[in-house]
Every structure is written in C-alpha cells, then in structure tokens.
Structure 1
C-alpha cells in the first residue's frame, strides 16, 4: 500500500460514483482528481468561532461523496485545519471508508503558523520556535509573518505531516512568496526560491512530499511592472536549474473565479516561446497543472444576484448562483476548483455539480467578451 495518491488508487475511487458525470473527474497526468476540491482556509483566524467549528465532518462528507482533493496550509487557523483533516482521515482509514492512495492531500508553507491556542505573545513564539532553534535569522522573517528558509520549510513539512498524520504530502506549495517583494529585491527572492526548491527536491527523495509548487494570491496575476509580480518562466527556470528536466515542480495554485478572471483573461506571463500568454495558457505550455483557489472569492461575489444569462450559458439555470460560480471556476484550465465549507450540508449541496457535464467552451467564452479566454 502506497502512502500517497496513485493513478490506480484515484481511479478506483472515482469508480465508486458511477452516477456522476464523466466530466467530474480529471486525469492530470499522474492521478485522477475531482474537479471540485475542499479547501480549509478561514478568514480572521483569530476569531474564536473559527476553532469551535469542526472541519472534520465536512472533510469526511467530502471524501465519502466523491471529492478526493483536500487542500490546506500549516498556517490555516494556526495549524487547526491540518489537525482536523488528520483526525478525519484517520477515522476514514480506520473505518475502511477510504484508503490513502485514493486521496490527493496538499499543504503549504511560508507563513509562520503560530499555534492554537493563540500565544499570548506571538513575537515570543517566533523567537522560541524559529529564531532560537536557528530556522531563520530575524532578517529572513518578513514583517514577523513570512519565511522561506530551507530550515524553516523543512520544519514546516515535518510539522504538517505530524498534524495531518500522514507519511507523505502529495503536493506541497511554497505559499505566497510574492509576500516578500517590497521588502527584498526580486533577485534576492529568486535566490531564496532556488534554495526552497533544492530542499523540496530532497524532500521528494526522502518520500515526504511527491510534488511541489507555488501557491500565489496575486503574484502570477499582476502586470510584470508590479512590485509583487512573479514570472512563471523564472520559476520554471529555477526548477530546471535545481532538478533538471525531471524536476518535481508540477503545480501552481492561483485564484480564479467569476469576478477575478485574470488567470484566464489577462496575458501577462511569458510562455516557453517568449510570447505573452494568460497564466493558464503559460502553465499549460510549461507542462504545469493549476489548481484554482478562491472559487467563491470568500463569498464576496454574492453581494448581488447574477444575471440570468450566466446560468443559461453555464447550464446551471435550475440551480443557484453559488452553483453557477463553482461551475464557472471549474471550467477554467484547472485540474480542480477549491471551495471552503464547514457545514457538511454545504459540501453535499455543492456536489450537485458532480451530475452536470462541462459547460460548452463557446458559452464560457461569451462570459468574457474578449479574445483572451482559452
């Protein structure tokens, strides 16, 4: 039995749901992934209600009903999200309801996670857990919250594995490295990313991660003149320098939703031929796989009702705006669109989309009104 997602394991998983549309699962070249993935980010993690709520039931409901991608990060809710996923997976495995090879589990590191309960003095936590053990110097910790030194990242991976109660993380993301720009030069950041990638290649060899990538908020979406712009071409070049053509930099994660469409509509990234493409097109050109984050823009896209034409074009007229938003998000060039849900009922409601086929590409393109949509 493998301790990570496999092609055979994920295929056996999808065969449990024969009533779902054949479009619901996608083969990304390595494994089969549900086109909706469960995310575990919560806004304002210092608020007490974010700890009273238990994600465990939502995770179990997702896995039992056809979602095999679970996404998290060590800093989400001060490590609580990872720990609840770990509890849920342990129960599923012990019950025989799922096996490790069927599930794709991703996490991230870069932000300092602190710990729950929130420390009385977070600066002392940084001193005790990062600076004193020598994981980083004070200068390598950006605004008391972000760090990507190899020693710190190794600690993060080890801690995430412990939290998740797993031996291997399928995809491990460097979390928002653009956070450091404005405090260090781009040239310096590239050197830091190179050291991070060197560590990740070692962690692949050690069996602690299977693949790695970069999860970014706006870094891949800005114009290249912006201070926090990240060049995908540069990131691939670093990976090839570190790991050769057989490197394990395989994924990126970036926002894509009906209100934030730049990943599909804005040509700001150079492809392998040096010409400018959208992020989705460039990623495809480099052989990378993209996971779409913030599919519902943290529910901010529902401040007013959608135009009825949206549902007509996406084939979701009989459902609601939330279903239309998720349908749109998973119709990009993504292996999966991530959504957050604490209530198991919300997970089940969103899975109504599993019965729907993909929207027609021409219909999706009409929602853009430009020639840039892929």
Structure 2
C-alpha cells in the first residue's frame, strides 16, 4: 500500500502549481471543492467515467476526494484506488499532495462479489462474527452499526480498495440512524467506545483524523429523534483523546432544500445558540458540505450554487459529485 498522507507543504505546492484557490487547516491545504463519488450506477461503464474524471481533477487542481465504503457497492473506492495507483506510479502525483476522506457505518454491498447489503450482512459480517445481530440498528431499509470490530473490518477494506496505508479523514457515516434507535444515553456511550478505537487508529497511522458525516443529525431540531449535539460529541473526543484529540471534521448537507447548516441555530456552545457552522468553528472543527446540487435535482444554476458555497464562511470544502469530465471542467472553471 502507498505510504504517507496529506501535508501542509506539499498540498500548498500542488495548489499553487495549479494556480488554484485553496482552504487551509493546521495540517493541510485543500481545494474549495472536492470530488464526490456517491451517485452513479454500479457498472463498469460508470467506473470508467469516474476514473477519467478523477484523473482530470487531480491533474487540474482539485486535491480533495470524498467517498465511502458503501458508495456504488464498493466500486467508488476501488475506482479511486486504480487512479491513485496509476498517477502515483507514473510520478504524476505524490501521496502528500492530496486529501482523501471515506466513511463507514452503513451496511454495504459488494457488487463485484454479487452481494447486495442483506447478503453482505449475512454471508460476510455475521457469518465471520465481525458483528452480531444485536449490534445492528435498523431504520426503514437502512442498517447501521457503531461496533468497533465492524470499523476495524471496514477500515481495512477501505484502505485495501484505495491502496493507501493512511486515510486522511475517516467519518462515521450517518450516525443519526443509530441515535434514533438507541436513544441519547446508549448512543453517546457507544460513541465514546468508537472514538477510543479511532484514536488508537490514529496512533497506528491507519487514519489521521476522524469525524461524523451526517444528513440531518446536526441540523434538525434538538427535540427530534436522531439529533446529535456537536458540543457533547466534542467533549467525548476530549475525554478520550485529550485536548489534542483527532475529532476535527464533520460533514453536513447544504443546498437550497437543506439550508439549515447555514441559517438555523440548531446547536449551542457554552449555552449560546448557533448554527452548526458557527458551533464547529468555536469547537475548532472543520466543516465539509455535501449534496450542493440536492442529489442532482438542482442542476440549472450550478455556477451560482458553487460560488455561494465558496463564499459562505466556515466551509472548508464542498463535496461535488463529478462523474463526467465536462462537468469537472465547468466546476473547476467556476472556482478558479
């Protein structure tokens, strides 16, 4: 596997060499948009499109890639891995020049193995005793887990797919599903155990940082099922990892249908009500945003949407689904 991770010096050099705008963290610089890999069919045809587009983006100033174990039946991670291996082997790209985030928590399928999520659960996770039936939280058709043994397995899968020894940002994916089933007390207790596992993985250099990638968890009302209190979550990280803990990133949707991250005071810090963007800033947590075009429903004014998001305070980077090179060219032209 390819060693290393994103560094301040190399990411800044990369972005300057491509005359790209950038955002800054203490640990690296990144492009204001990232390559999103959620949407698309689980086909080789779509994999070819993604591979071409990811190559184009990495060659033209986008140095942030976002994915998840369950995206497109595991094909998205595998597609990214192929591109990274090719560009790094050919010395077109250095591991320290780009940032990659992935996620786990939902039960995935594996399309290449012919396993839909229910089969993957039965024949891989339960059969091999990676998790137990009682550790699964189910809401509608979604099955979610918080068990560290699952994340050890999932993290190894993601690292293998991507071909990377270290993942820059590792998210707990849609944790509000488990919150809805478990309730606050049990959820936060299990979250503490999981954060302990994540801190151990940082020490082992399988990940650099961890976070929560949510849908409505941070932006719904505090009395709604599934609500997650960011300040309490950060306190758990401090309890587990001290002031130098590695819970430094969250991901929330932000679009015309879900504007709450920017304009609804659903969080609080030290008793002061704030938006999640403001709360995260006060807690020294970086925010990435997802679904800028509302999962493909808002595609008429993409330039205006991207400009709005790039001008919104406290957004580190926006995850933009880009499966076609022509869309990538348009998006890159907008932010440059």
* Same fold by TM-score greater than 0.5: yes
Matched, 1:97 2:71: no
Q: Is the 8 A contact 2:137 2:144 kept in 1?
A: yes
Matched, 1:339 2:320: yes
Residues 34-84 of structure 1: CA distance to partner in whole angstroms, max 9, x if unpaired? Answer: 0011110016x5x65875653111111111000000000000011100000
The match for 2:78 is: 83
Pair 85,13 (structure 1): closer, same or farther in 2 beyond 3 Å: same
More strand by share: 2
Matched, 1:330 2:310: yes
Residues 277-297 of structure 1: CA distance to partner in whole angstroms, max 9, x if unpaired? Answer: 000000000000000111111
The match for 1:151 is: 149
Structure-to-structure mapping, 1:50-129, within 5 angstroms: 51=46, 54-117=49-112, 119=114, 122-129=117-124
The match for 1:276 is: 273
Runs of 4+ in 1 over 4 A off after TM superposition: 47-53
In the alignment, the residues of structure 2 paired with residue 292 and residue 145 of structure 1 have an alpha-carbon distance, to the nearest angstrom, of: 23
Q: Pick from 213, 225, 233 the counterpart of residue 223 of structure 2.
A: 225
How many correspondences in the alignment?
A: 331
Q: Pick from 200, 203, 222 the counterpart of residue 201 of structure 2.
A: 203
Select the structure of larger CA radius of gyration.
1
In the alignment, the residues of structure 1 paired with residue 320 and residue 116 of structure 2 have an alpha-carbon distance, to the nearest angstrom, of: 32
SS at match of 1:145: strand
Stretch moving more, 194-203 or 139-148: 139-148
SS at match of 1:223: coil
Ranges in structure 2 where 5+ consecutive residues have no aligned partner: none
Instruction: Tell me how large the CA RMSD over aligned residues is.
Output: 1.8
In the alignment, the residues of structure 2 paired with residue 56 and residue 48 of structure 1 have an alpha-carbon distance, to the nearest angstrom, of: 12
Structure-to-structure mapping, 1:12-51, within 5 angstroms: 12-18=13-19, 20=20, 24-42=21-39, 51=46
**TM-score of the two chains, using structure 1 as the length reference:** 0.84
In the alignment, the residues of structure 2 paired with residue 241 and residue 326 of structure 1 have an alpha-carbon distance, to the nearest angstrom, of: 37
In the alignment, the residues of structure 2 paired with residue 49 and residue 223 of structure 1 have an alpha-carbon distance, to the nearest angstrom, of: 41
The match for 1:255 is: 253
Deviation at 1:263, TM superposition (A): 0.6
Residues 240-297 of structure 1: CA distance to partner in whole angstroms, max 9, x if unpaired? Answer: 11111111000000011244211110011011x2211000000000000000111111
